[in-house]
Structure formats: structure tokens, C-alpha cells
Structure 1
Amino acid sequence: MPAEKQALWDLKNRNDIIIKPADKGGAVVVWRKDLYLAEGARQLSNSTFYRQRSNDGTIPNNSKVKDAVSDLIDAGHLPPSSKYLIYNNSELGHPVFYMLPKIHKPNNPGRPIVSACACPTEQISAYLDSVFQPLVMSLPTYIKDTNHALSIFSQVVLPTNQPIHLFLLDVTSLYTSIPHADGLRAVKHFLNTRTSPVVSTDTLVRLTELVLTLNSFEFSGEFFDQISGVAMGTKMGPSYACLFMGYLEWQMVNRYQGPTPEFYYRYIDDGIGISTMPLDNLRNYIDFVKTFHPSISFTSEISTPTVNFLDIKISIRDRFLHSSVYYKPTDSHTYLTYTSSHPHSCKRSIPFSQMLRLRRLCQDDIDFREQCLRMRDFFVSCGYPLEVLDDACNRGSGCAPRQVLRTRIQTASWMGKLHEKEGVPASWLRAAPGDENIKQSQI
């Protein structure tokens, strides 16, 4: 057996370590098992979020799901076909709590995740996610992904002769921090905005309650219930969290008496904004946001020239937002090695896809070429031939940044003076061809 395979075999069979992917950055982390168990015990001892139980709650929870769904079907609130939402006991899996190491955070805490595969509420959660997703996409501050964010940023034309402040607002531990009552209130609020509901709001709120409250799992031979927040691992988790944040933002803007930022968007728990208001006014608004909800904690950053949002480095240049690539310090740049037995077409496509990603992110041609050289070094360390990498870079260079952006802006912002079509003040929008309604002028 080759030495590397033997080493992997030996690591796999050690019982004193836990091997997990890093929470962010793509690294593989070897975690001492005693430290992993201690971190799990630390988190699960928080009685605000978790409660220990004496036995496995999977079968009892499945009985509650069966009774609740059957009652809704019998009452005509759900169609008979909704029986698929119920698992037979023989089909059930075993929900397990595990953690991914946050090596980018001090003391390397674990991100708590509950593996919800074949758990009693898995089918219900997937169904609710399909209902919630259109509502999430209609939120005024919604950002789908990096491409969507770049499309939004590319439309902005900033005013002249005014101070410009970029700022970030990030929620700490959003998923576990959402009180059930407030989350259900947010869900009900947005469900009531549907124009042609197939299933009533009250029924969907009841199903959401099942997912939130029937969440039992095992960790290191002990059993627990999650009693607050939504489990990271259930299908509806991200959309539920987004609806809660959308409702919170709506409340904030309606209750705040002072000026609000003119531009604000959010990707789940990471928000980015731009404002021309005096710095003291912006700080007052951010302080209001931070103290608005007793269970939701924010971190903030105000920076005039540059901020890092998702994998984008955003900077102000002249009157425009310019983008480049941002790597977290813990990014390991781990790519498939060229000695892999994957087809050559697959291996050649990987560096090309990364060069296209750089082309989307890097608006400046000089910056793009510099980042290509940096990316090439990452792939060289994985054994890729220079001719493959140079070809990928040349092909990526042939595309204009806007050509590889396919996501169009479909949302509007609640913040400040709003433009009904695009979501930022009309004076901040770069006119698109054929759109005479959008002017390049100052505020």
C-alpha cells in the first residue's frame, strides 16, 4: 500500500481525532476529539437554545408529525396527497449534531449543524422551503449570491461632493438566535402577502412550528432538543432566517425616526450599505439596529474606501463601486490535483471556471491580470501544467466583466429615497441601454 494511502487509513482509524472540513475556506481540519467533544458540550449546555432529554426523540416526534399532518388533511386544510410529508418509522434516520470548525474565528468555535436527513420533519421542511423561497426573493434587500450582488453594485453611480460611507452589518449566530414566536410572526406576515394562496397561512404556520419544535438529535451518545432558533441543516433554515430578517428590517425602518441609509442589501445574515448622511447620523442608525431586538446581535464596520462582502472587495473609485476578489485569510485554495483520474476535460475546466470567476469579480483589467497570476500559482501547487493555466487565463481575458454577469436586479430597497424599479435612488443608477427612465445625475 502506498505511503499516502496508508497514512489516510491510519488517520481514518484513529479514535482520538475528528476530521472535518473547515466552516469556510476549503481546508481540511484535524480536531482533537476531546476538544471537539468539549466544544459540543459547551454549546449544548446553553439552556437558552438546547434542552437535554433522557431518550431519543425521533420516534415520538414522528408520531406528533403524523398526528398533526393527518388532522390537517382530515380537516381539509391539506390535500390527501400531503401524506407524503409523513415518514414511516422504518424510513426514519437518526438526526445527529455535529460541528464545522471556524478556523477564521478566535478560539476556533464550531458551527452547529444538525443532520436532518430522513428526520421526522424533513419533508415538511422541504415543502415549506418551496413556499418561502418566492417570498424571500421578493424581499427588497435580497441578495441571491455573488453574481447578483455584482449586478446590483454595477448599477450604482454615486453622487459627487458628498461624503460616501460604506458599511457592513452582520448578524451573530442568526439561526439559533431567532425566537420561535418572532420567527413565526415574520412567516405569517409574509405568507399573508400572497395573492393566490393554495394552502392557508395558518396551516403553513402550523407546519413551520412542527419543524421548529420537533427538533431532537444525538451528540456523543446523549440526546437533546433545540428549543430556540432554527437548526442549521434543515431545508427551510435559510429561507426562514431570511424572512425573519426581512420582517426585522421592515420594523426597523418603520420605527426609526431619523434618516436611514440610501442603499442597503443583505445576503442572509451579511448586510452591506452605502450612505451619504453625516457619520454621526449613520452611527446613530447602526446603534439603533444593534439594540432593536434583544435576541439578535450585530457586528458592524464603517469604511469609506473599501469593504469586503462575501468574496468581493468593494471600493469607491470616482463615482462608481469597483470590485475585486476577496479571499479570507484561512482560504486554503484547495483544488482537484492534476494527477487525479478525472477526465482531462473536467480538469481543464476547473482553472477556466476560476478565471471566469475572476473576470466577473475584477473590473479593472490590470487587477484581473494580477489576480490571474496569483490564481495560476494556486493551481501550479496542485500540479497543473502552465499551458493549461495560460489557456484558461487567455480565454477568461476574452470576456468582458459585464458579459459574464447574467443576474438582473429584481429587488428594491426600503432604505432612504427609493426608486421603484431598481432599488436604489434613481440618481445612483447607471443608465442601461434602452432605459431612458434612468438618468445619471446627482441626488
Structure 2
Amino acid sequence: MEKTEAYQCLGVNDPLPNLIERTNKYLLDLRLAHWITQKQHEILCVKPSEANLARLYYLPKTHKPGTPLRSIVSGLKHPTIKISTYLDQLLRPLFDKIALKTTTTSGFEVMKQVYEWSTNNLCKETLLCTIDVVDLYTMIPQTEGVLAIKKMLDYLELKEIGDLKIESIIRLSRFVMKNNYFLYEGQYYHQIRGGAMGSPLTLTIANCYMFFFERNIVKQITNAGGLYLRYIDDMFIIINWPEWHLNK
């Protein structure tokens, strides 16, 4: 946790009651200002008896050198989980649409595309490169992460999704990103950088951020006849370039 500087320790003072109150007040304010509908307000509101703070735990990355640990913030009852899930269900299909040619969800799909590319392009000079984005979920600044959602919606020229205005989506996304709290070894923490790995919306925000970050790279690779694919924080490139040119 210290390495990423993404978390602020709050000590032993439980932030849950205040977070529940602030979440419900924020949703009510949005409802009264007509940013969300009454039905959306009812869906997203927090029931105090059903809410709990997230818990932090670690999973080993067995496929990485040195077996580093991946932090997971499990928040199935977190006060913002309903908002996060609701937004993710709206936004993830849109991201999948714009990133169809550059992202993948399975090793089988990677091998299939590599095989198809290799049939006509493989030669002695072919380079295969994999790149790992370190600490993706905590590396993304929260403001820029939310702006990536806005850029995606502008890219698709959307003014609303269903009954939800774009401005409402941005407001709700910002609230989710800035209100990740969890408990770890008896201490409470507030995430001040990035998003919680375990919150549905975080994955879509991370993907959108990377989509716009990598566009220039993708353009160079594809214009040179290469293949570029990404699975969340793992980038894969195969291209007929000299090694010095790829490193540049």
C-alpha cells in the first residue's frame, strides 16, 4: 500500500455511517435537481442495514516474476456498490464496442489473432513483445479516470444513455471514485488515487483510460502492419520492426 501512495489511513474511526449519509444525501440532491429519476434514486439508495465497508486482501500474481501481490478491495456491500454496478452495466458495453479491435478477454482469442497474423506476416525479423502496466488501478488519477469516461461518451457522440444524462453519469462516476473506503488489519483507509480493484466501475474506467492513452501506440503498430492487443493491464505487440525501433 505504501508503494502506490494511493491510500490514506484514517485510524480506527469508522467512516461507514457518514459515508451512508453522504451517499443518500448526494442521490437525493441529484433527484431534486432532476439529474436522476425517482426510479433511479430508489435503485441506488443505500439501506444502512445492508451496507458494510469493503475489505482489503491480496492475491499472488503467480504468472509474474517474483510473484508480486495484487490488492483486491472486496466491497459487495459498500455504500457505492449499487451506483458502481449500475454505471458499469451502462458503460461497459459501450467500451467493448469502441475497443473491439484492440482488446481481448481470453488467451484463446490472442492465439487465434496471432495465428491469423502470422500466416501472412511472420518472418525472421518478427518481434513479439509483452508489456505490463504496473499498478494500473491505483496509477490512474481519479479526475483523469472520470474524464476518460466523458471522452468515450463524446467519442460515441452520446448525450444520454437510457434515462441517464451524460452529466449525471459523470457526477455519479466521480462520487464512486472519490469515496472508496475499506478496512485492513483493524485500520480504516480512504483511497485517494485510482479506483478500488473489485468495484465494477473501476475496470471500465481503467479500460477507457488505457484506450485513449494507447491510441497513438496502436496507430503506429497497425499502420506498420503489426498486431496490438490488450487485456486490462497486459499489452501484447507483434510486429516486423527492428528491436531498436520498438524500444524507441
**TM-score band, normalised by shorter chain:** 0.7 to 0.9
TM superposition score normalised by structure 1: 0.50
Q: Does 1:58 align with 2:20?
A: no
- Equivalent residue number for residue 22 of structure 1: none
C-alpha change, 1:191 and 1:164, in structure 2 (3 Å) is: same
**CA apart distance, 1:238:** 1.9
Correspondence list, 1:338-349, <5 A: none
Aligned length: 238
Is contact 2:84-2:200 (8 Å) kept?
yes
Correspondence list, 1:342-381, <5 A: none
SS at match of 1:266: strand
**CA apart distance, 1:263:** 1.4
Which amino acid in structure 1 is aligned with residue 21 of structure 2?
A: S
- Equivalent residue number for residue 49 of structure 1: 6
- Equivalent residue number for residue 398 of structure 1: none
**CA apart distance, 1:153:** 2.9
The counterpart of 1:71, out of the listed 10, 14, 29, is 29
- Equivalent residue number for residue 271 of structure 1: 235
Q: Does 1:225 align with 2:199?
A: no
The 1-side partners of 2:34 and 2:172 are apart by: 15
**Aligned structure 1 segments of 4 or more residues deviating by more than 6 angstroms:** none
Correspondence list, 1:342-421, <5 A: none
C-alpha change, 1:106 and 1:124, in structure 2 (3 Å) is: same
Q: Does 1:209 align with 2:174?
A: yes
SS at match of 2:87: helix
The 2-side partners of 1:161 and 1:250 are apart by: 26
The 2-side partners of 1:147 and 1:159 are apart by: 20
Which amino acid in structure 2 is aligned with residue 51 of structure 1?
A: Q
The counterpart of 1:197, out of the listed 143, 160, 164, is 160
- Equivalent residue number for residue 144 of structure 1: 105
- The root-mean-square deviation of aligned C-alpha atoms, in Å, is 2.4
Larger relative contact order (CA 8 Å, sep ≥ 6): 2
Unaligned runs of 5+ in 1: 1-42, 285-443
- Equivalent residue number for residue 180 of structure 1: 142
Is contact 2:207-2:232 (8 Å) kept?
yes
SS at match of 1:134: helix
Aligned-pair identity in percent equals 29
**CA apart distance, 1:260:** 5.8
- Equivalent residue number for residue 167 of structure 1: 129
**CA apart distance, 1:200:** 2.2
Higher Cα radius of gyration: 1
Is contact 1:136-1:142 (8 Å) kept?
no
Q: Does 1:117 align with 2:117?
A: no
Is contact 1:56-1:216 (8 Å) kept?
no
Is contact 1:170-1:271 (8 Å) kept?
yes
- Equivalent residue number for residue 91 of structure 1: 50
**CA apart distance, 1:281:** 1.0
Is contact 1:260-1:282 (8 Å) kept?
no
The 2-side partners of 1:47 and 1:155 are apart by: 39
C-alpha change, 1:229 and 1:161, in structure 2 (3 Å) is: closer
CA deviation vs aligned residue, 1:162-197 (integer Å, no higher than 9, x gap): 621111111111111111122112111002225462
C-alpha change, 1:214 and 1:261, in structure 2 (3 Å) is: farther
**CA apart distance, 1:126:** 0.6
- Equivalent residue number for residue 320 of structure 1: none
**CA apart distance, 1:120:** 0.6
The 1-side partners of 2:115 and 2:158 are apart by: 32
C-alpha change, 1:263 and 1:214, in structure 2 (3 Å) is: same
